[in-house]
Amino acid sequence: MKSGAKTVSEYLASLPADRRAAISAVRDVVRKNLDRDYEEGIQYGMIGWYVPHSLFPAGYHTDPKQPLPFAALASQKNHMALYMMGVYCGCAEGKDGETADVKWFKTQWAKTGKKLDMGKACLRFKKLDDLALDVVGAAIKRIPAKVYVKRYTQVMAELAEKKDKGRAAAKKTKGSKTKK
């Protein structure tokens, strides 16, 4: 559920007490472990932590006016969610399509014995006890803003290169069909 809140305080105040307590506890863990170069605010209707334009002027590739999202926290209709874009990073290093950070995260989570309900970057939970907060904190701490920007920039360059190769191959194929 996208919130119309303009500030983190407004966002938290808009939540029912049980959700506010859980979201606040997760927020505290993120903030405690967050690199000082990230900033907190409302982004895409959620509490967000992002790389400010002062550090990465290019911003988010889908909307350069937005700072580069690193993590977000939201109260959704049927669950709460922590979006950890920094862990996922849109990258795929191995045949299984998972980054080293995702593999590390899943391994550490498994050691806790808690059930992991995760999409690519989305960690879903219904109550605070569902989370391994120590693993969440460690995952946030592992990725300073400058490292995240470097990875993000590298991934965007790799995607642009693949796109260019695909266009060149399509042009070549199209050209060979018209010669016949």
The Cα–Cα gap between 44 and 135 comes to 25
Domain boundaries, the chain: 8-179
Rounded-to-integer distance, Cα 6 and Cα 147, Å: 29
Q: What is the pLDDT of residue 167?
A: 65
Amino acid at 130: D
Query: Residue 90 class from Cβ within 10 Å (0-12 exposed, 13-18 middle, 19+ buried)?
Result: middle
Query: Which residue is it, tokens 């209709």?
Result: 77
Model confidence at 132, pLDDT cuts 50, 70, 90, reads very high
Higher pLDDT among residues 169 and 152, named by residue: 152
* Cβ atoms of residues 70 and 56 within 8 Å: no
Q: Which residues pair with 75 in a beta bridge?
A: 80
Average pLDDT over residues 98-116: 92
Residue 152 CA to residue 50 CA, distance in Å, equals 13
Structure tokens at 10: 């407004």
- Cβ burial of 77 (10 Å; 0-12, 13-18, 19+) is exposed
Q: Which residues touch 131 (CB under 8 Å, ≥6 apart)? A: 26, 82, 114, 123, 125
pLDDT band (50, 70, 90) for residue 92:
low
Round to the nearest angstrom and report the end-to-end CA distance of the chain. 55
42: helix, coil or strand?
strand
Dump pLDDT digits (tens) for 8-23. 999 999 999 999 999 9
Phi then psi dihedrals of residue 120, to 5 deg: -65, -50
Q: Is the entire prediction scored with pTM above 0.75? A: yes
Q: Domain 8-179: which topology?
A: Aspartate Aminotransferase, domain 1 (3.90.1150)
DSSP code, position 34:
S
Q: How far is Cα 79 from Cα 107, in angstroms, rounded to an integer?
A: 23
